[in-house]
């Protein structure tokens, strides 16, 4: 059977025009979008390649052997990425997350981490530097990543049953190797390790309780993510979404849970702590989280921007186009122009896709939901 032919957005060609650099002088960290939301989190995709073929992200019948990836010359260099990050930090970003594709496939990723770890806020504070990975290369790279300045890591893992996990990643990769990567990250001293499980009804919902039992009390925070309608290749259907409320009810049947406050403004996860015998959260038992971008929109306080591997800045996970910062970077623009352009882009931001999806009937969904969304593998999660 041949590869499916699906009309993808050609992110390498389509781009939004850059707005004129704003002449507005803002104190550091005071930038707001059109809905009053600050910029606090920059997610940086460093590659469009991945060694897994998860059906909800890079299905094999689309991203097969004939799929054309970006040439290395098209990717932002580490120095270019750092320039954008520095401008974003000037405007209030405090967290940088490296993603992909699979970011550990980017050669020399440790050098980029070292450059980003050297950045400081206007007040002189270090940034929160983290990375999301499928864990396949983590065992061999964890110590080097920590030595370069990485502080935290999030590992994607969609089940503990080996047969289920191999089916989900669709490249026959064993779950034991990912667990070994998590152990290596802990041994290297990476802190606040999280594991993300995408829950797809009919595929892996039977792994919810085994995953919870495995990571309870381990020091690793497990988060359950609703299967999302990102991109156009995964064949997303609402009936394959298991709402987070159902996940929590299942967990509450097995464990005593207590709700926890958000850890930071703009936090995407609802937090639940495992309770001890006294009915209060026992930190030694840890916590779980649910990310409900389908059933419970959190657009209202979304403070994230996403930079693609070849320099497109996206203002929403469900966007169809981004602003081409690579052209600006390679035009010889100075740092002040990059900062001003970034401010102008964010100031006009008005995205709230998930809120609109939740309130409109199918025939009235937002225009950019009808076959023109950027792919998860291109923009990162």
Instruction: List the CATH number of the domain containing 126.
Output: 3.20.20.70
pTM, entire model: 0.88
Tens-place pLDDT, residues 341-372: 999 999 999 877 666 665 555 544 444 444 45
The contacts found for 361-370 with CB under 8 angstroms, 24 or more apart, are 368/318, 368/319, 368/320, 369/229, 369/318
Residue the block writes with tokens 């926890």: 260
Nearest-CA neighbor of 40 among 90, 3, 77, 93? 93
Q: How many domains does the chain have?
A: 1
**170, part of any domain:** yes
Confidence of residue 156 (pLDDT cuts 50, 70, 90): very high
In a domain, 17, yes or no: no
Question: How many C-beta neighbours within 10 Å does residue 238 have?
Answer: 12
pLDDT tens per residue, range 179-193: 999 999 999 999 999
Is residue 294 within 8 A of residue 241, CB to CB? The reply is yes
CB atoms within 10 A of CB 117: 16
Q: Is residue 14 part of a domain?
A: no
Confidence band (pLDDT; 50, 70, 90) for 14?
Answer: low
The answer as to whether 267 is a domain residue is yes
User: Does residue 261 sit within a domain?
Assistant: yes
Q: Please state, rounded to an integer, the average pLDDT across all residues of the chain.
A: 88
Looking at per-residue confidence, does 104 or 228 come out higher?
104
Which structural domain range is residue 312 located in? 41-379
Using CA atoms, how far apart are residues 297 and 352, in angstroms rounded to an integer?
9
Whether 7 is in a domain gets the answer no
Return the structure tokens found at 90.
Answer: 């000037």
């Amino acid at each position: 059977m041949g590869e499916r032919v699906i009309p993808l957005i050609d992110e390498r060609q389509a781009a939004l025009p850059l707005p004129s650099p704003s002449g507005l002088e803002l104190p550091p960290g005071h930038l707001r979008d059109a809905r009053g939301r600050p910029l606090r989190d920059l997610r940086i995709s460093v590659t469009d390649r991945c060694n897994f073929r998860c059906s909800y992200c890079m299905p094999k019948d689309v991203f097969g052997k004939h799929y054309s990836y970006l040439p290395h010359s098209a990717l932002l260099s580490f120095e270019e990425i750092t320039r954008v990050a520095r401008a974003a930090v000037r405007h209030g970003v405090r967290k940088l997350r490296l993603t992909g594709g699979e970011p550990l496939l980017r050669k020399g990723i440790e050098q980029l981490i070292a450059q980003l770890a050297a950045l400081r806020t206007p007040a002189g504070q270090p940034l929160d530097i983290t990375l999301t990975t499928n864990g396949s290369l983590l065992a061999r790279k964890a110590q080097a990543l920590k030595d370069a300045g990485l502080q935290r890591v999030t590992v994607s893992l969609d089940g503990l049953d080996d047969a289920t996990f191999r089916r989900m990643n669709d490249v026959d990769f064993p779950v034991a190797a990912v667990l070994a990567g998590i152990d290596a990250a802990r041994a290297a001293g990476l802190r606040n390790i999280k594991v993300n499980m995408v829950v797809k009804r009919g595929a892996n919902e039977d792994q919810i309780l085994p995953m919870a039992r495995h990571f309870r009390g381990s020091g690793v925070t497990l988060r359950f993510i609703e299967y999302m309608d990102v991109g156009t290749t995964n064949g997303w259907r609402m009936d394959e979404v298991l709402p987070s409320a159902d996940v929590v009810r299942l967990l509450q049947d097995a464990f005593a849970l207590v709700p926890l406050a958000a850890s930071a403004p703009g936090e995407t996860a609802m937090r639940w702590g495992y309770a001890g015998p006294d009915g209060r959260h026992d930190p030694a038992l840890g916590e779980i989280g649910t990310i409900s971008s389908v059933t419970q929109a959190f657009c209202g306080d979304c403070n994230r921007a996403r930079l693609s591997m070849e320099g497109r800045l996206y203002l929403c996970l469900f966007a169809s186009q981004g602003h081409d910062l690579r052209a600006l970077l390679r035009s010889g623009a100075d740092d002040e122009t990059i900062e001003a352009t970034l401010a102008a882009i964010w100031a006009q931001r008005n995205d709230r896709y998930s809120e609109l999806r939740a309130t409109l009937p199918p025939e009235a969904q937002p225009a950019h939901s009808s076959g023109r969304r950027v792919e998860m593998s291109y923009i990162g999660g």
